[in-house]
Every structure is written in structure tokens, then in C-alpha cells.
Amino acid sequence: MANGQEQFDAVIVGAGFAGLYMLHRLRGLGLLARLFEAGGGAGGTWYWNRYPGARCDVESMQYSYQFSDELAQEWSWSERYAPQAEILRYANHVADRFDLKRDIQFNTTVISAHFDTQSGRWDVETADGEHVSARFLIMATGCLSAVNLPAIEGRDSFAGATYHTARWPHDGVDFTGLRVGIIGTGSSAVQSIPLIAREAKHLYVFQRTPTYSVPAHNGPLDREEERRIKADYRGFRARIAETAFDVDGEINDKPALGTSEDERDAAYEKRWRKGGLPFLLAFSDLVFDLRANETAQEFVRQKIRAIVKDPAVAEALLPEHAVGTKRLCVDIGYYETFNRPNVTLVNLKKTPLAAIVPTGIRTTERLYELDAIVFATGFDAMTGALNRIDIRGLNGLALKDAWSAGPKTYLGIATAGFPNLFMIAAGPGSPGVLSNMIPSIEQHVNFIADVIEHMGKRQLAVIEATKVAQEAWVQHVNEVAAPTLFPSTNSWYVGANIPGKPRIFMPYIGGYPVYVQKCKDIAANGYEGFSLSSRSI
């Protein structure tokens, strides 16, 4: 440990919803914590993703913290699905209301964290060369924060402006009169394409994999509904927490395959009209049985054929993978945008992207001359943000080496060989990305704060996930994923978007309530599966 180094009970990395609440809880325990944030402000994903049209695909009344009744009552969302700027205001409101910013060091990137076996403390280093020491290291670095900029030939040779959706300029971009190319058709592209198309002279959409998207039917939040929900806010959220993904949406327990075609289509139609992610809850077998899934696939393909006027363009937009196995998109006028005369779909399946050149993008067919390129190419999900930091645990073991054949965690919260290190809601093996993120974050933060309190009361200094418990958890995570359609689709859930990344279905899909109960049981059994000791190792 360097001499004169500042000492903290905990260092938290990341000032998104996870880091903010973690800081609040640790303060409540009387601990001294420092939070490092690479960005210039709080808000995490909502700080970085400022592309046109960015908004949440979970409804506002559910995409909020629950830890403070006063906060829940006083905050009022404007729309059914909150836009990025409003969610960012909410994050800052929380940070200010709970006076969190005085312990946050912004514009500070953590580059390494090494566990010192002698002292049982973490030595955390920032890009500015600052070192601090902490007993606990808490990674609140997010599951979709490490930007993926694919290694396309000539990528950096383009003479015009380039943007990544997750690193959007704070003062916006004016595409008026410009020829714009966008690479990618995931959630970020689906949200931004309709708005960029309205501004640009011409928009070229470079699509490798067509996407399923369900309309948001966004609009102003119904004030009567808000009043009704707020009258029993705790009850509202508690009822939703009993559902598999912790998202409200009338789960149907009936399988699609035992249902007549007319009844099935009526159910899909009803959900299409209501809009949003609960489309996937229409039948119980959609993510388990390919034939059931095909009924939903075909329903969406018919919608695309009906919306997109040019049959050749519609055909190119038809997805083929099992719906839901890549994250379902929620849009405001996505497919309709392809009816505009200033929008061209470039089908990279037919004419692959060959290179980026100074004047534009070249496919195997032709050159598209462009003034600006938008990379809507996503993230190195779940493990990326952790592996980009040089994290070393016992005996100097690097986290990326420990995870070289695939990430292993216990509950997605801790990993063997890395004492006093916790991950919040982004760790592989946790429900995180398959659940409503804010409640998942709160559940993890509460678990971590409770175990730290437990250790304090018993004068325990070190906690580590045992290898046995970790192996059993990894096996369980794989077992619940195996019967689903998820592992077989190329998606960021399995790391398929990053060349060389081990192919593992990373999230826990056993259901949010099942997961929460497991955590409660583990805590009730004295943090079973963790080894806790009163001295350093």
C-alpha cells in the first residue's frame, strides 16, 4: 500500500443507479465511501446514451427506485416511457436529494484494483495516477457500458464525423442536409433511426441482422393511473416483483401451441396494440419451444409486411431468429421510417460491409458516400466493463484470466478468488438484464449492504465466495438456461457480438422471485456459500 494513501471503507465504481444507491446505503451504515465515475456527471447509462430518441423500454412508473417512499411520491414522470433527459434529471435529483455528490469524484476512470493479501484491502488506481485504499470494492459499472466499436477495415479513415450512440455529444448533433449512415439495428438504432431520418438529407441503414420491434405506443403519463399507483405504491411494486422479469404485463400461463390460431393471433394483436416488452408474455412457451416461438415470429413478420410499403424492403427487414432471444426492441415508428423516400435499407446479409473509406461505407456491391457515420453497434455486455479494469485478486490473479473460459460468479454478486469484491446487478449469473434494472439493482445493493453490516457487527474483515458454491451456482444458471431458446441465438447475452468472447449465456433466467428468495435464504443461513473470516488471508 502506498504511503499516505487515502483510506476508505469502500470504493464504488460507477455513478449510475447502482452506484448512487450503494453510496446512500453505505452512508447509512456509517461507512466512509468514495465513488469514482468516469463521466462528468451522475446517471450512468443515461449520462452516456444521449442519442436521438433514447428512452427506457420499461414503463416509467416501474423504472424508479423504491427505497424512499418520499422520493416515490414526489417524483412525477411525464411520459409512459421516460425519455433519456428526464431519467438523467431523476438520477441527479436523487443524487442531490440524498446529498451524494460530495463523495463522488467525477471525470475519474478507475484503471486498476489490486487486492493486497497482507492488509486485506484493495488498492484502487485511477487514470490520473491517484491510489486509494479500501476494504470493499464495489463494481457498479453497468452491464451495457463498455462500448463496442467493431474493427471494421478502414474504420478510422472516414473523413466525416463519426458517433457511437453510447458516446453521444452532449450538445446534440444536427444532421440537417447530411448524408448519414448508421451501422446496426439493435435497440439504440431502432430508437434513433426514426429521428435521424427526419433530419438527415438521406439516411442509409446498414443492417446485418433484422430486428423484432414492438410499438411503444408512448404518450403522456395518464395522471389518473399515476394517482392510483401512488396510492398503493409499495403494493404495486410488490405485486410486480412476484413476476418472472419484475415487469408488469399480464403474464399468460397458457402455451401458444395448445391455443387455436385465431385465439393466438387475437392475443398477439391485443399486446401489439398495448405495446412494449410484455408482448413476450403472451404465452408461457414462447422462449422454450421453437414452434411456439414461430407463431409469434410470424405475427411480427406479418406486421412488418403490412407496415412497409415496398415488398423488397419489407422482405429484407424480416427477422428469422427466435423472437425475444435477442433483446426485443420497442419503437416509435421504426418500420414506418423505411417508407420515407430519404431512407435506404442496405442489406449486409446480401452485400456485406467491405470497408469504411474516407468518403463513406463500401459494401461488396457499391460505395455509399456519406457525411456522417453513426455506430449503433452496442456493447461488450456484462463482462466488458469489469474486464477493461485490471482487477487482481488473491495471488495476483487477474479477473480476465479467471474468466478466460467464461465468467463465473456466485449469485452474480461475487467471484471466488476476489475477496471483498462485489458486483451490482451486472454480474454474469444475476437476473440483471433480464429483469427491470432498478429493482434488481436495489435488491443487490441491499444484499451487499446487509452482508457488510453483518460483517461489521461480528467484526469480520474478509468475505469471499467459495469455489464450491460458485460452481453450483454456475451449474444452476446453465441448467435453467438450457431448456430455453436463448443460448442458441447469436446475441450479446451469449457474447456472440464480440469476437473471441467465450460463448456463455450470461444472465440468470430462473426468474426474479426465485432469485430473490435464494438470496434471502442464503442470507438467513449466515451467508451460506461465502467464507467469512475475521482476519486477512
Please say which residue, 188 or 387, places its beta carbon nearer to ligand N01.
188
Verify binding: residue 149, ligand N01, rule CB under 6 A: no
The C-alpha cell at 259 is: 391455443
Q: What is the x/- site pattern for ligand N01, positions 326-365, by CB under 6 A?
A: -x--x-----------------x----x------------
Sequence-distant (≥ 6) Cβ neighbours of residue 531 within 8 angstroms: 463, 464, 466
Q: How far apart are CA 194 and CA 139, in angstroms?
A: 35
Q: What is the x/- site pattern for ligand N01, positions 480-499, by CB under 6 A?
A: ------------x----x--
How big is the chain, counted in residues? 537
Verify binding: residue 275, ligand N01, rule CB under 6 A: no
Phi, psi torsion values for 89, nearest 5 degrees = -60, -40
Verify binding: residue 189, ligand N01, rule CB under 6 A: yes
Verify binding: residue 158, ligand N01, rule CB under 6 A: no
Verify binding: residue 139, ligand N01, rule CB under 6 A: no
Verify binding: residue 383, ligand N01, rule CB under 6 A: no
Q: How many CB atoms lie within 10 A of CB 220?
A: 9
Verify binding: residue 186, ligand N01, rule CB under 6 A: yes
Specify the stretch interacting with ligand N01 by CB under 6 A; choose among 115-123, 336-344, 376-384, 458-466.
Answer: 376-384
Distance in Å, CB of 80 to ligand N01, minimum: 13
Angle between the N-to-C axes of helices 233-240 and 223-231, in degrees from 0 to 180, rounded to the nearest 10: 90
Please say which residue, 60 or 470, places its beta carbon nearer to ligand N01.
60
Verify binding: residue 208, ligand N01, rule CB under 6 A: yes
Please say which residue, 330 or 413, places its beta carbon nearer to ligand N01.
330
Verify binding: residue 437, ligand N01, rule CB under 6 A: no
Positions in 55-94 near ligand N01 (CB under 6 A): 56-57
Q: Are 332 and 215 in contact (CB under 8 A)?
A: yes
Strands 360-363 and 353-357: antiparallel
Q: Are 170 and 151 in contact (CB under 8 A)?
A: no
Verify binding: residue 155, ligand N01, rule CB under 6 A: no
- Amino acid in the structure at residue 414: A
Phi, psi torsion values for 262, nearest 5 degrees = -65, -45
- Amino acid in the structure at residue 150: P
H or E element that contains 444? helix 437-457
Verify binding: residue 183, ligand N01, rule CB under 6 A: yes
Total of residues contacting ligand N01 (CB under 6 A): 26
Distance in Å, CB of 303 to ligand N01, minimum: 19
Q: How far apart are CA 347 and CA 215, in angstroms?
A: 23
The C-alpha cell at 317 is: 427487414
Please say which residue, 462 or 504, places its beta carbon nearer to ligand N01.
504
Q: Are 134 and 8 in contact (CB under 8 A)?
A: yes
If DSSP codes are grouped into helix, strand and coil, which group holds residue 369? strand
Q: Residue 533 half-sphere exposure, CB side, CA atoms within 13 Å?
A: 9
Closest residue to ligand N01, based on beta-carbon distance: 186
Please say which residue, 205 or 451, places its beta carbon nearer to ligand N01.
205
Distance in Å, CB of 95 to ligand N01, minimum: 21
Binding site for ligand N01 (CB under 6 A): 56-57, 144, 150, 152, 165, 183-189, 191, 208-209, 327, 330, 348, 353, 376-379, 492, 497
